[in-house]
A and B are shown apart, each in its own frame.
Chain A
Amino acid sequence: MAVSKIVQLPTANRARETHEPPSIAVARRHHATELVVRNVSKSFNIDRRPLPVLQDISLVAQPGQFITIVGASGCGKSTLLRLIAGLDRDFEGEILFGGRPVSGPSLDRGLVFQDHRLFPWLTIEQNIASAFSSRPIDTATKRLLVKDHIALVGLNGFEKAYPHQVSGGMAQRAAIARALVNEPDILLLDEPLGAVDALTRLYLQEELQRIWLQKGVTMIMVTHDIEEAVFLGDQVIVLQPRPGRISKVIDVGLTQPRDREDSRILKLKKEILGEFHNPAPINYSI
């Protein structure tokens, strides 16, 4: 599956035909892949009693779209990403990617965890390269791809560093590079900036936006930061907890990049914040 994808020639994609290094063009794939999540529900068994975590979730991610999912902790947003990534196959409903049901992890769908999950015994470079260990690409191409993605996330000069030698923010960039190096059609981000300090966070949000504009990959990002969600998302999905369910879908309708102080952004922030001030009654009798 992965093999046939590599041979496919790049087709028209937005915002990235111009300054691309050749290696990316070689391995690049066609991004017209749509993600459809339809009526997905999921519950965990705690002490042999089902505890619902997701209830009737439906969403569609158009190719190249940036969707942000915002919600309080415990609303099942990470679980939803794990389902889409194929790490957890035990759910009700339907998840279709490119028209086919998701049946397990695939290199078409990248995932960035909240903790960077780099292997501490591999250098930044080796960590990124580990992502295509299962793909038959020649070494020269691999080297070029790694080099380009290190440049993409701005880690030049840290290729040979071990994860403990770089800051948390840099490790998370490396994790993003690892997820992108396979040129996935969609990138799932599970609170990737949750563990970095506030200043780095603002900076990395802009970096993420730049990367998204540069690569045109579909992104779904989970966050509990409303400003982040509105600043980055084409569409913001608000999740309410226990069980996790969609309470509002907002189409931002502003071009990217955006100005944080834009009055429309501030208005949307207020609107979403309102969602959390009067939540639906919480059902504690789990």
Chain B
Amino acid sequence: MQLSPAFGWLLKRLPSLLSPFILIGVWELVAQTHLFAANILIPPQQVFRTFLDLLADGELIDNIKASGARVLSGFAIGAGAGLIAGMAMGLYPALERYFGLLFTVIRQVPFIAWAPLLIVAFGIGETFKIIIIANAAFFPVALSTLDGVRNVPRHLKDVAALFRFDRLALMRSLVLPAALPSILTGVRLALSRSWMIVVAAELFAASSGIGHMMDWGRQMFQIDVVMVGVVVTGVVGFILDQMLRQVEAHFSSWKLPSR
């Protein structure tokens, strides 16, 4: 009686648990055939060995830390500014009428196209990287905050008016909680974009960071280092996304009824 539901659970999940092994298995098999040269395709265990080496000599950790620090500061600036801008425009519609168009125009240009202009203006150092990440983090948070604040259900606003909430009480007990699920979705998007962009920014030029490690690996024809980089960036991206999804799920469990 106890065993069979657990077994059923396992049977249901088994194929999904299998899928990474299938990928690795196919990868191994193709590598075994030696159809591709060793500088094109290497077997998974060699990638794993390189991973352990890079881990042991601290290089991988240092690079992840460097990229992480850039993401964190860029994201904090961009998301913070986005939160303020979104709130302000949501609460004072006149602001949106003045700045909405500017917003839309800037948003149309993909972050990558700003890079050359920013490099000309700020040089190729840390400033440029942090600005480009902040720029990318700004828009999802600003837009989702604006959306969340604007869509506070009308009937709740009526209740607040009825009880003569002051501005602070209105913010704390109505606007913020109502907008939170939407804001969190924006934050998740912003963080996953920041991670995507830090890798790109480091490809332009950097002396540290996971993107730098991969680019250096390419120039040295070290496919194993490049592969480790691909896997690590993927795993970090996955963890960041999952973490924020958990937060999102937690805070939207009391989701407000719409309208």
Consider the complex of A and B and state whether they touch directly, i.e. have CB atoms less than 8 Å apart. yes
> Number of residues in A with C-beta < 8 Å to the partner?
2
Q: Would you give the shortest CB distance from B11 to chain A, in whole angstroms? A: 14
A136-177 CB contact bits vs B (8 Å, 1 = yes)? 000000000000000000000000000000000000000000
Enumerate A25-68 residues with CB–CB distance to B below 8 Å.
Answer: 47-48
Please report whether the interface of chain B is mostly helix, strand, loop or mixed according to DSSP.
helix
- Residues of chain A within 8 A (CB-CB) of B4 are 48
Q: Which residues of B contact A47 (CB under 8 A)?
A: 5
Q: With a CB–CB cut-off of 8 A, which chain B residues contact A48?
A: 4-5
Chain B contact residue count (CB 8 A cutoff): 2
How far is it, in angstroms, between the C-alpha of A34 and the C-alpha of B19 when the chains are bound? 52
Name A's interface SS: loop
Closest approach, in angstroms, between the C-beta of A48 and any C-beta of chain B? Answer: 7
**Identity of the chain A residue whose Cβ is nearest the Cβ of B1 in the assembled complex:** A48
Contacts of B78-131 to chain A: CB distance below 8 A? none
| Contact code string A4-33 (vs B, CB < 8 Å = 1, else 0) | 000000000000000000000000000000
Please name the residue on chain A nearest to B5 by beta carbon. A48
A39 CA to B5 CA, complexed, in Å = 32
* Contact residues in A for B5 (Cβ distance below 8 Å): 47-48
CA A48 to CA B4, docked complex, whole Å: 9
Chain B residue at minimal CB-CB distance from A47: B5
**When chains A and B are docked, how far (Å) is the Cα of A48 from the Cα of B3?**
12
Of residues 1 through 37 on chain B, the ones whose CB sits less than 8 Å from some CB of chain A are: 4-5
The distance from the CB of A46 to the nearest CB of chain B, in whole angstroms, is: 12
- Report the separation of the CA atoms of residues A47 and B5 in the bound assembly, to the nearest whole angstrom: 9
Bound together, the chains give a CA A18 to CA B5 distance in angstroms of 62
- Provide the A185-215 mask, 1 if CB < 8 A to any CB of B, else 0: 0000000000000000000000000000000
* Closest Cβ–Cβ distance, residue B6 to chain A (whole Å): 12
In Å, the complex CA distance between A48 and B5 comes to 8
B residues 57-86 near A (Cβ < 8 Å) are none
B70: min CB distance to chain A, Å? 46
**Assembly CA distance A233 to B40 (angstroms):** 77
The contact string, 1 if C-beta is below 8 Å from chain B, for chain A 94-116, is 00000000000000000000000
3 contacts between A and B (CB under 8 A): A47-B5, A48-B4, A48-B5
Measuring CB to CB, which residues of chain A are less than 8 angstroms from any residue of chain B?
Answer: 47-48
